Amino acid sequence: MVDIKQIIKDSAELKQSMLNDCLNEIESAIEIMINAAKKGNKIIWCGNGGSAADSQHMAAELMGGLRSHDRPAIASLALTTDSSFITAWSNDTDYESIFSRQIEALGSEDDILVAISTSGNSTNVINAINTAKAKKLKVIILTGKTGGKMAGMGGISICVPSNDTQRIQECHLLVEHILCESVEESILN
């Protein structure tokens, strides 16, 4: 059996270390997301696996409401939800461009792309970042300790100081909730 207490301690310690390593980047990400939301720009999310689930979760929080359902909707979408497009495009062309193709169609200048990859090496997310930058979207990267190939690619990189996928994912969820809660609060005030 796993050591439950140790897992919880490890998770708590990593979140504590994020205060030193990630706070400035989180604050910068909040600022550009608030500016985008107030101007009516979209906040677009992408990632694979657990990061795909996070993308859908956070887009829903922004559009529907995290703490308040009585506030205006915030334009947000996950590029992970259109199964017809994803399966057709990856079958007919390739999987590496499923996100970049959608950004090509749906992204506009000054929208935000939140690109999530625990390893920082997801080719389809890297391609999304490149397309977003070409279209003048602002890019926020959420990744692990080294940043992988995505290191330095975005305007803001939030690199959780760990190489443990599960712990990185837990921290990404915390950061994503902080981002969404901050954007929502700014819309309410």
The answer to whether 140 touches 114, Cβ cutoff 8 Å, is yes
pLDDT at 189: 79
The overall average pLDDT reported for the chain is 96
| Residue 170 backbone class (left: φ over 0; alpha: ψ -120 to 50; beta: rest) | alpha
Alpha helix segments (H runs only) across 65-189: 83-92, 98-106, 123-134, 165-188
pLDDT at 23: 97
* Average pLDDT value for residue range 122-135: 98
* Average pLDDT value for residue range 36-48: 97
Sign of CA dihedral 27, 117, 94, 89: negative
- Label residue 154 by pLDDT band (50, 70, 90): confident
